[in-house]
Structure 1
Amino acid sequence: MTTLGREAITTVDLIVAQGADQSYAVRYSTSDGTTTTPVDLTGWTARAQLRRKVGGDVWLDLTDTDGISLTADGLVTVSIDHTTTEAPAWNAYSRVTSDGPQALGVWDLELISPDGRVIRLVQGTVTVSPDVTRSQA
């Protein structure tokens, strides 16, 4: 049997350090087998969500106007601010066992071309590593 297609271009499992500012970057490029060429993402849009499970409640909703940046040399950067993950709701997104923090969520990131094509660039699990130190409120 032959299988065609794929779920996403790549799998990227996120570790979110609760209470810390963080950025994750991937480059979208094409290859002809010899040369790799970054895709110009000018005019593209992007969206991503973090959830407990597929179809579950949204932990975090990101777009190219809030949390995702795209560049002409194919760089896609997802940024999560410390104030987001310090919110009390994020305490429920982590579990630590004797083996360390456990993955409790899933995420994916989609790019939308200027002509409307949707490309699932990455997908994977989400592990929230809980913080001990909190800002004084």
Structure 2
Amino acid sequence: MAGTYRLKIDQGATLNRPLRWLHDGEPKDLTGAEARMEIRTAAGGTLIHRLDTSNGGLVLGAEAGTILIRIPAAISSTWRTFQGVYDLEIVFPDETVVRLLQGPVVISAEVTTGE
């Protein structure tokens, strides 16, 4: 069962959110795994952004069990303030898929635009 985590993203700022997957107190070995995540307006709604290990939006730390969520400021600056949902899935080499996290995502409006 996926854990629930509220993800807050500041519009116009770089997001580097590190996570660590522990299983029975030990880091989960993510060697050879891939990850994917989508941010949507609602479940089944409009896709706002897709992150995965191939596009660099998600970086896995192998034996350390770390997962880094990366969204550049150039991407988040194009989003409008909204509340939506996301989930994060890990795909292991044997094709087992684990939905690790899910929950609400909130985009906080940028006030300082640098213009």
Instruction: Spell out the pairing of 1:67-106 with structure 2 (5 A cutoff).
Output: 67-72=57-62, 73-87=64-78, 90-91=79-80, 94=81, 104-106=83-85
1:82 is displaced (CA, Å) by 0.5
Instruction: Spell out the pairing of 1:1-137 with structure 2 (5 A cutoff).
Output: 6=1, 8=2, 10-31=3-24, 36-66=25-55, 67-72=57-62, 73-87=64-78, 90-91=79-80, 94=81, 104-136=83-115
Relative contact order, CA 8 A, sep 6+: which one is greater? 2
TM-score where L is the length of structure 1:
0.78
Aligned residues: 113
Aligned mates of 2:93, 2:22 — CA distance in 1 = 16
Structure 1 stretches of 4+ with a deviation exceeding 4 A read none
| Bigger CA radius of gyration | 1
Question: Which runs of no fewer than 5 residues in structure 2 stay unpaired?
Answer: none
Question: Which runs of no fewer than 5 residues in structure 1 stay unpaired?
Answer: 1-5, 96-103
Cα RMSD after superposing both structures:
1.2
1:28 is displaced (CA, Å) by 1.5
1:41 is displaced (CA, Å) by 0.9
Aligned partner of residue 83 in structure 1, secondary structure: helix
